[in-house]
Chain A
Amino acid sequence: MATLKLKDVVGGYGDTQILHGVSITVDPGEIVVIIGPNGAGKSTAIKAVFGLLKLTGGQILLEGEDITNTPPEKVVRNGVCYVPQTANIFPGLTVEENLEMGAYVREDDFRPRLEEIYEMFPPLREKRRQAAGTLSGGQRQMVAMGKALMLEPRILLLDEPTAGLSPKFRGEIFNIVKTVHAAGTPILMVEQNAKQALKIAHRGYVLVDGRNKYTGTGQELLDDPEVAAMFLGGEKTEVEAE
């Protein structure tokens, strides 16, 4: 059974409809990437899963269970964790307190999980008593993801984790994503840096104007001349320059 399934999702904010029928599937153990031009509804699709917008059509299934239009605080309890693009850490709390807040809804002892997170991201152990707001961009993303992983989620949703980071940090983030995935968590992420993202993705979706445009494995999309021309071309020089 698919970990997460969006079926013909329609919705938006207020009267503005952004998604006009988006279907996405994440199977167990997969990294799935959503790419597309600005305003295609990529981030909105992820927010739809998390109950952050009103859906007027379609369905969202978490391991077969209908979670359409469930409010975020309940979606978290269902084991879905979402890392927003910005403001994804509590800057005034220490690194460890951020991770503890990630475990807020856990009733059991989260200490063993905290240890696992520190194993996954060694720099966080070192800086655990430091205010998270004082960390570098890459380390903040570690905190944001570590915080989300405290719940041992069934799926992790990432909204443009590399936005605003330098190419050097971008590589670091993709490594973190791979680390998280290697530890067994399926990931659905939105990415601007399509080429790098598709390289680590099992499957990719290209959204245009709130609809599915292309679907395929990461490699298929990378090799597709049409996709390449439309969405990867602009980045070519940048990637080569690295």
Chain B
Amino acid sequence: MSDLINFHLIPGLVLGSIYALGAIGLTLTFGILRFANFAHGETMTLGAYFAWTLIQLTGWHPVAVLPMAMGLTVLVALGIDRGFYKPFRASATIMLVIASFGMMLMVRSVIQFIWGVQVKALMPGIQMPVVLFDWLRISPKHLMIVGFALLLMFAVHYLLTYTKIGKAMRAMSDSPELARLTGINTESVIRATWIIGAALAAAAGVLLALDTHVHTMMGFKLLLPVFAATILGGIGRPYGAVAGGLVIGLAEELSSYNWIGTEPLLNPGYKAGVAFAIMVVMLIWRPSGLFKGKVY
């Protein structure tokens, strides 16, 4: 029982929160700009590298440099949109998808060029978990990850529900044509989407790096589960993305628990396959996802 909670449930929640942050940004871009942004994983990687650099420069705690890393990533995302995606605004979706694929390769190469391909750590040394009631092991960094993820999710919820730009984002996700006819400034909505998407992606990257390490392929490895979470929750549905992220994270971690007998139900090496399986099943069984998203 304590094994289930300590080694599967808690890591599942941690991973799920990280997936959720990534999936919110992906689902917003999908809903508002109408394309699957393959470079989203690289945005997460970039956030982690900015955080690493800021920590080297300042010596501060990762959580302290997180807002700055998010800000820098947002600037890069806005620059990429202005210089790279904007000319494609009226193009067919497939062109944007392919363009984002190219952007993914470019950003990753630039990261490898600047920072090198070696694995880096955000926090040196090993942190000992706190043991409660003799059996519950909680690592402080896991608490930080889940806490910060929750904070960001509430911020997004507030933004989408109570602010003018947030409502305009939902309106444009509902119907871009009507948004234009209504006089909604679609360019500022697109800007807001990149800001939120990149900020959350950067946070996801930094939090994952906090849990594991900084690596140039980390974002690409996140891409599949984050896409699975987006589809599971329903494309264009931020709350669906949160639910989808948590489900995928938990499913991946719980799949390797010894539910039957003493052996893991699924070899931990196949964890990534769980997300893929959920995505495939969802696309066949219910392509609109749990929260009735768009179907393309």
| A interface residues with partner B (beta carbon < 8 Å) | 50, 72-73, 76-77, 82, 84, 87-93, 97, 100-102, 104-105, 147, 151
A151: B residues at CB distance < 8 A = 183
Counting chain A CB atoms within 10 Å of each CB, which of B171, B175, B177, B183 scores highest? B183
- Whether B167 lies near A101 (C-beta < 8 A) is yes
Q: Closest A residue to B177 by CB, please name it.
A: A87
Question: A92–B170 Cα gap in the complex (Å)?
Answer: 8
B175: A residues at CB distance < 8 A = 87, 90-91
Partner of A101 from B168, B173, B177, B186 at Cβ < 8 Å: B168
Beyond A73-B185, A101-B179, A104-B183, 17 additional contacts (C-beta under 8 Å) are A72-B181, A77-B183, A82-B181, A84-B181, A87-B178, A90-B174, A90-B179, A91-B174, A93-B170, A97-B167, A97-B170, A97-B171, A101-B168, A101-B182, A101-B184, A104-B168, A147-B182
B185: A residues at CB distance < 8 A = 73, 104
Partner of B178 from A88, A97, A100, A105 at Cβ < 8 Å: A88
Q: Could you tell me how many residues of chain B have their Cβ less than 8 Å away from some Cβ of chain A?
A: 18
B170: A residues at CB distance < 8 A = 90, 92-93, 97
Q: Does B61 contact A (CB under 8 A)?
A: no
Partner of B171 from A84, A88, A101, A105 at Cβ < 8 Å: A101
Question: A7–B184 Cα gap in the complex (Å)?
Answer: 29
Counting chain B CB atoms within 10 Å of each CB, which of A82, A84, A93, A147 scores highest? A93
A91: B residues at CB distance < 8 A = 174-175
B164: A residues at CB distance < 8 A = 100, 104
| B interface residues with partner A (beta carbon < 8 Å) | 164, 167-168, 170-171, 173-175, 177-186
Consensus secondary structure, chain B interface: helix
B171: A residues at CB distance < 8 A = 90, 93, 97, 101
Counting chain A CB atoms within 10 Å of each CB, which of B170, B175, B178, B186 scores highest? B178
A89: B residues at CB distance < 8 A = 178
CB distance from B174 to the nearest CB of A (A): 4
A87: B residues at CB distance < 8 A = 175, 177-178
CB distance from A231 to the nearest CB of B (A): 29
- Whether B174 lies near A92 (C-beta < 8 A) is yes
A84: B residues at CB distance < 8 A = 178, 181
CB distance from B185 to the nearest CB of A (A): 7
CB distance from B286 to the nearest CB of A (A): 18
- Whether B174 lies near A93 (C-beta < 8 A) is yes
B186: A residues at CB distance < 8 A = 73
Partner of A102 from B173, B174, B180, B182 at Cβ < 8 Å: B182
- Whether B181 lies near A76 (C-beta < 8 A) is yes
- Whether B183 lies near A76 (C-beta < 8 A) is yes
Question: A76–B51 Cα gap in the complex (Å)?
Answer: 44
Question: A87–B164 Cα gap in the complex (Å)?
Answer: 21
13 contacts between A and B (CB under 8 A): A72-B180, A76-B182, A90-B175, A91-B174, A92-B170, A92-B173, A97-B167, A100-B164, A101-B168, A101-B184, A104-B164, A104-B168, A104-B184
Question: A237–B174 Cα gap in the complex (Å)?
Answer: 40
Which 10 A-B pairs give the minimum distances between C-beta atoms?
A76-B183, A105-B183, A90-B174, A90-B171, A92-B174, A101-B171, A104-B184, A97-B167, A104-B183, A87-B175
Question: A99–B168 Cα gap in the complex (Å)?
Answer: 12
Question: A147–B182 Cα gap in the complex (Å)?
Answer: 9
A50: B residues at CB distance < 8 A = 181
- Whether B180 lies near A73 (C-beta < 8 A) is yes
Q: Closest B residue to A101 by CB, please name it.
A: B171
Question: A100–B183 Cα gap in the complex (Å)?
Answer: 12
A77: B residues at CB distance < 8 A = 183
CB distance from A114 to the nearest CB of B (A): 14
A105: B residues at CB distance < 8 A = 183
A76: B residues at CB distance < 8 A = 181-183
- Whether A93 lies near B167 (C-beta < 8 A) is yes
- Whether A100 lies near B167 (C-beta < 8 A) is yes
A90: B residues at CB distance < 8 A = 170-171, 174-175, 178-179
Q: Closest A residue to B236 by CB, please name it.
A: A92
Question: A87–B175 Cα gap in the complex (Å)?
Answer: 8
- Whether A104 lies near B182 (C-beta < 8 A) is yes
B174: A residues at CB distance < 8 A = 90-93
Question: A82–B178 Cα gap in the complex (Å)?
Answer: 10
B167: A residues at CB distance < 8 A = 93, 97, 100-101
CB distance from B250 to the nearest CB of A (A): 27
B173: A residues at CB distance < 8 A = 92
A73: B residues at CB distance < 8 A = 180, 183, 185-186
Q: Closest B residue to A76 by CB, please name it.
A: B183
Question: A90–B169 Cα gap in the complex (Å)?
Answer: 11
CB distance from B187 to the nearest CB of A (A): 10
CB distance from A91 to the nearest CB of B (A): 6
